[in-house]
Amino acid sequence: MSPWIKVFWVLATADLLIWWVLWRTVARPPHRWKWASLSLHLFFAIMITTLGIMMLGRTHHWNVDVLVPRFITVAVFLWHFIVVPLALIGIIIAAIISAIGMLIRLFRTRQNTTPPTGLTRREFVARLTALTPPALTVVLSIIAEQQLKGFRIRRITVPLATLPAALDGMTIALVADSHAGRFTHGEILDHIATATNALNADLVLFAGDLINDTLAWLDDGIAMLKKIPGPLVVIEGNHDLFEDADEFRSRVKASGLNLLVNETATLTIRGVPVQILGMEWGTDSHRPSRASEPQLADSAARLLKLRDLAAFPILMAHHPHAWDYVSGIPLTISGHTHGGQLMLTDHLGAGPLLFRYWSGLYTRKAATPSDGSEALIVSNGIGNWFPLRTRAPAEIIHLTLKRSAA
């Protein structure tokens, strides 16, 4: 059985459990809320049906994203990744409280009381609570839908002691993680290209994850990058390789884009040779969706052997942890983290839980004191595999390199 089918059955089972509990709450006699029951039936039918379509599409490499309205897709993601876990926790807590209440009633002295004829306050609150999970999903989906349409331009100045004098003030537009696909397509891709061109940077670097999970969207991603006149350099990310790594690489290179897979390219900028070192994802023999630290170290070691000491170097690595295995490179740029995607504060959230470096500028002392410091820039990314962000806005980074004292 396909792993995606297994995932479907796990999520669908959770859906059916929550559906049954919520429906029993709102439809409890004698005061049934028929309108609420119908709303729940419609909501869960849409969630489970769309989930099934998406899983079949993933299993058979169908581009179902064009068949399902984006708002519904957003709702399915938010429901299953955020609301379902919360709902299950709520159901467990409610079951525990109910069991305690039953035990208390068993040991109480029975009293003759007249049963209420109308809906009690407790029942009313319980029914409103039962409608909260679907309502929360709709509200979050509206917020996410608005977020998907926008991004910021983040400006960062990077001081570098080894920067050639002619490159003082050089600008770089850093674009990463467009994830062309279900959440990033159409006008959004055009807007990304237009905003990048408006920066009029000396160099444009794309730090991986051009597509989300299927090659069906690759032509759209390539078309977006082709609208950026450059000079433009591209590296791969893990999402680019989900379906077929070789086909992704061959199609991007055939389009004329400068894709570097543990390769280098030397450009002349302001009369100075600038060597871009583009790291692959994983190794030649292993192309997993997740990079291990040994794989990052191996890729970095092989790439650094191609270093041209006569040129100013910039290293591109999709995973920011590659920085730990690089030395003698004044500037490294990366993406992958989405800024943590779901952050409570700038330093609390998924970012620091999953990554050593997750957003913005990081510096460290160079191995040679005269070289000053080395810098890492991590982009929040411009697109999304998950529709909602908190305190980690989508962005294009505009870098300005400044010559500094050692």
What is the pLDDT tens value at each position of the chain, 406 positions in all?
A: 667 788 889 999 999 999 999 998 887 766 667 888 899 999 999 999 999 999 888 887 778 888 899 999 999 999 999 999 999 999 999 889 888 888 887 887 555 555 555 667 777 888 888 899 999 999 999 999 999 989 999 999 999 999 999 999 999 999 999 999 999 999 999 999 999 999 999 999 999 999 998 999 999 999 999 999 989 999 999 999 988 999 999 999 999 999 999 999 999 999 999 999 999 996 544 455 567 889 999 999 999 999 999 999 999 999 999 999 999 999 999 999 999 999 999 899 999 999 999 999 999 999 888 888 999 999 999 999 999 999 999 999 999 999 998 7
Q: What is the pLDDT of residue 67?
A: 85
Q: What is the CATH number of the domain that holds 291?
A: 3.60.21.10
Of the residues 146, 173, 201, the one at which a domain ends: 146
Same domain, 267 and 398: yes
Q: What is the pLDDT of residue 109?
A: 56
Same domain, 386 and 260: yes
Q: Which two tokens stand for residue 240?
A: 């680019």
Range of the domain at 219: 153-403
List CB contacts of 168: < 8 A, sequence separation 6 or more: 401, 402, 403
Same domain, 138 and 175: no
CA 79 from chain center: how many Å? 17
Closest CA to 44 of 66, 69, 5, 12: 12
Same domain, 127 and 161: no
Helix (H) or strand (E) holding 23: helix 3-26
Buried residues in 257-276 as b, exposed as e (16+ CB within 10 A): bbbbbbebeebebeeeebbb
Same domain, 113 and 212: no
Same domain, 103 and 186: no
Same domain, 224 and 170: yes
**Total domains, the chain:** 2
Same domain, 112 and 178: no
Q: Which two tokens stand for residue 65?
A: 């994203």
List CB contacts of 96: < 8 A, sequence separation 6 or more: none
Closest CA to 214 of 241, 253, 178, 177: 241
Same domain, 122 and 168: no
Same domain, 222 and 323: yes
Of the residues 130, 146, 162, the one at which a domain ends: 146
Q: What is the pLDDT of residue 222?
A: 98
Half-sphere CA count of 238, side-chain side, radius 13 A: 17
- Whole-angstrom distance, CA of residue 382 vs CA of residue 335: 10
Same domain, 70 and 179: no
Of the residues 87, 119, 146, the one at which a domain ends: 146
Q: What is the pLDDT of residue 146?
A: 92
Same domain, 394 and 266: yes
